[in-house]
Each structure stands twice: as C-alpha cells, then as structure tokens.
Chain A
C-alpha cells in the first residue's frame, strides 16, 4: 500500500521537527528514512503511525486520508527501537495480541502465530517470556507481533539501534529477505547510512525537518543533490572546492600526469580497508 505525505508540518514548542514535508512512498517499497538524530525522521514515522499528530498537512495510506485516524484504526505495524515487549506475556501471547484484539478464533490465532514464529525463527521460544530472550530475539518477536495483524504498512523506528554490531548485521540481511517474502510496504528509520544503503530500495534523506533528497541507494550515492547528502552517505573529502569519495582518488608514489603532490601523515589498516590521512603539499606552505 502506498503512503502519501503532503505538506506535513510539526513543531514541538519552538523546535521545528518537520518543515513542509512531501513524500510519496510506493506500494511494496522498502524505504529508509535516513538522517542525523533530531532531524525529524522518527517524528515523521510516528505521524504515519498516528502516534503523533501533524500541525498541518495530510497523511494518506493507499489513497485514503488517515491524518486524523487513531493509531488503532490505521492497521499499521510499528516496531520500536527498544522492542516495547509486553513483559508479562509469553512470546506466543505477544505475537497473538493483535489477533486476540481482533477476536480471531483461537485455532486460527494458534496457526498464524506459530507460522510467524517460524518465519522469525522463534518457534522454539513460544512459551518464554521476553525477558528470557536476547535483544535480537526480542526485536524479531516485535516484528512478528507487528506482522501478525497483516498491516497495510510496516514501520520500524531504528529497529536495530539497540543491538550490537554482529546481530545488527544479521538482522539487516534478514529484514531484506523478509521483505522479499512478505512484500509489505515498509518504512524504517535509521541514522546509519550503511544500513540504509544495504537494506532499502529507496532512501529519503531528512535533515532539520526537511527532505534533502529521495532516490534509490545508487542514485543518492552517485548523484547526491547537495553537499549534505554527499557528506552523509559515506565518507567524503573536500578537494578543490568539491566533495570527493575515497574511491574517486588514486594514490601514486611519484608524480604522474594530472596528479597533485601530497604528504601521507598516517596509514591506518582496518581489516581489508586501508586508510590514508594525506595533506596536500601547499606551495610555500
């Protein structure tokens, strides 16, 4: 289902969280809202979910205006950074929650929940309490819980932010594959450019409440609309008045046609990655 955001504004006191935001998210996409902390991306996600209200503007899910609909009537799945697990309920009951609210017959609930737990590889843990799961498992449970109600859109707020690097990497791959299987329109918030480039098929860069650029990961990486997007999507250095990426630079040990002389201050090896800190030799400096 598509999501349309038109002229959305939101302030918290004097702070402008969203400034005339317009986005069109196509059905079936896996979209990343990327930007620095405090840039308004979580606010936008919460407005789509109905957990916050915009001061003005329109939010439409699949063409119908949901700006003022209550969250419980929007049929969105929401995954929180800190899991928001129902601590007193078993993993099974957590996932079943939305179905129980919808008064789905017990046998049907049982079938659907076990199916989802299998999908997130937690079928062994159905009877455990959330406190007996690891962070990664809890987040997978939260995902299954959100998917159980067959939401028209799935929203994830920094879903892997609280997890350690290894688990984060696993879950990214896994989210990608899950999306290929389930095909629900998915929007996730992240401040990690690598995560956005790796997982999504569309990126919306948001900074200071404004949309800086929308496009595919390759598009944004190769043709950033401005310096901010360039700087935010991977390392960049200012050279001759423009920003360049590391792979735009070639290093020679002697002067070559078109080369510029520089002094290497530091060589740092990070696994397969070798980084040079080089300072351009300024004539007379």
Chain B
C-alpha cells in the first residue's frame, strides 16, 4: 500500500477511495443538492423582484414569522426539559423507567398526522379534559412540543451515560454544590450533544406540517405556519411563491446548523 501511495504523490486518497468519494458525491447530489438547487431556481424564476414580492406578501411573511418564533420557543423548552428527562432516565431508578424510556420515541415513530389527530381529540372542540388549544397558537406550540420530544433527550442520554460520576464527586470535594458541579463539570461535556439535539429539534419544528395541519386551523395571519403556506401557495397556482418560502426555510435550516456548530465550538473552547 505504501508503495502505491508514493507512486501517486498527487493523490491523497487511498486506493478505492476515489470510487467511494465519487459514489458519495453522486448520491448526495442526486438526492439533496440537485433538488435544493431546483427549488432555488424555481423561486427566482421571476427574477429578484418576483422573489421579494412573494416573500413580502403579508400573509406569507406572517406565516414565516410565526414558524420561526414558535420553533425558537419550542426549542428553548426542549433544551431545558430534554436535559432534565435525559438526566432522570440516566441517573434515577424508578418503577416504569423502561416504559418511559420507550414512550420518548413514540412521537418520533408516529406518523405526524396521527399525532395531529391525537392532539385534536384531546384538545379539540370536544376535549374530554376541557382544554381547547386547537385553532390557536397554543395548539401549534403544544403540537410542536409533542413532535420534538425525542431529539434532545436522545442526543444527551448516551453522553450522560458515558460520563464518569467521579468528576462530579471531585467537584463536590473541591467545594462545588451539586448545581455548580453540574454547571461547571457536567454541562460542558453535554454541550456538543445538546447542540446536535437542539439543531434537530429546531429543524423539525420549522419544517413541521403533519401534526399542525389538523390542529392549527391554518388561519392566515394567525395560525398558518410556513409549511402549510407552501402547500396553499402551490395549490393556488403560485409554485414560484411556494418555492420562495421554501428557500427561506432552507436558509433558516442552514443558518441554524452553522450557528449551532459555532456555538458548540465556542462553548467547548470556553469550558
């Protein structure tokens, strides 16, 4: 092998890697990059003027604002409660723990429309518990919380499992209260996983459609989210407008991923 590498000084790839790289690039291009490029092309089909017009449509802008705001709120709740749930699942022993551990994944495994149906029957007009969240932003908030439950929990849980308890004990013997020990010693180790889970939860919240379409009522300016807006624009013969909204969602996704990665690096450096 060493001989083969010195024989081709210009290539840093091992034998066989060229094929692998080619395959991976082609595969990802066909599946991801080409469709994304197509959306961008479609969105700007009527020039920048048409693009801005589509986005500055008041009801479209309202839908985008609503989506991002709700996603941010839901993500913040997830970061806190997801960490707490993961902590309880890893550190505590109680009857029914295995069941609870299983339940975490249900919102992920369930078709989202079923999730919508479940929430509709629980919080709808005929709510058995007397709570009427449907057709309101509270309904959107609850539905998004429901579908994003597993992300942070499942990202943090394995890291917490791997973490040695003796670092916390060391911190305690050095005078740290349990909270300080968590903040100074445990939390920094969770940051990368937390960032990954947060990114996934946020991305999911921004793109959610299935569970919202039944619950939110889809009232423009009030409860219509971006994904539903894309559908209605497309159905009203405005594919360029739909694509324009899609590009914004795409940009939000990319900014989120990059931003969270930067945050993670910063947090790891800072310690």
Contacts and interface: CB of A to CB of B under 8 A. Distances in A.
Interface in A31-67: 49-51
A98 B268 contact: no
Contacts of A146: 173-174
A78 B173 contact: yes
A105 to B, nearest CB: 16
A138 interface: no
Given A86-B185, A88-B189, A101-B180, A70 B172 contact: yes
A184 interface: no
Contacts of B177: 72
Given A78-B170, A82-B164, A82-B166, A88 B188 contact: yes
Contacts of B173: 49-51, 71-72, 74, 76-78, 146
B268 to A, nearest CB: 7
Interface string B148-187: 0000000000000000101101111111110010001100
A146 B271 CA distance: 20
A117 interface: no
A89 B85 CA distance: 27
Given A85-B167, A101-B180, A71 B185 contact: no
Contacts, number: 69
Given A88-B271, A93-B271, A97-B184, A72 B166 contact: no
A87 interface: yes
Contact of A72 (B167, B172, B184, B271): B172
A88 B166 contact: no
A71 B167 contact: no
A70 B176 CA distance: 10
Nearest to A49: B173
Contacts of B170: 78, 80, 84, 86, 142, 145
A214 to B, nearest CB: 25
Given A93-B271, A101-B180, A84 B175 contact: no
Contacts of A111: none
Nearest to A145: B174
B183 to A, nearest CB: 11
A84 B164 contact: yes
Contacts of B271: 88-90, 93
A98 B175 contact: yes
Interface in B84-142: none
A263 interface: no
Contacts of B166: 80, 82, 84
A77 B268 CA distance: 27
B174 A98 contact: yes
B172 A149 contact: no
Given A80-B169, A88-B268, A89-B271, A101 B188 contact: no
Contacts of A148: 174
B51 to A, nearest CB: 44
B169 A84 contact: yes
Nearest to B269: A88
A90 B170 CA distance: 16
B271 to A, nearest CB: 5
B167 A86 contact: yes
Nearest to A73: B175
Interface of A: 49-51, 70-78, 80, 82, 84-90, 93, 97-98, 101-102, 142, 145-146, 148-149
16 contacts: A71-B173, A73-B175, A75-B175, A78-B169, A78-B173, A86-B167, A88-B189, A88-B271, A89-B271, A97-B174, A97-B176, A98-B174, A98-B175, A145-B174, A148-B174, A149-B174
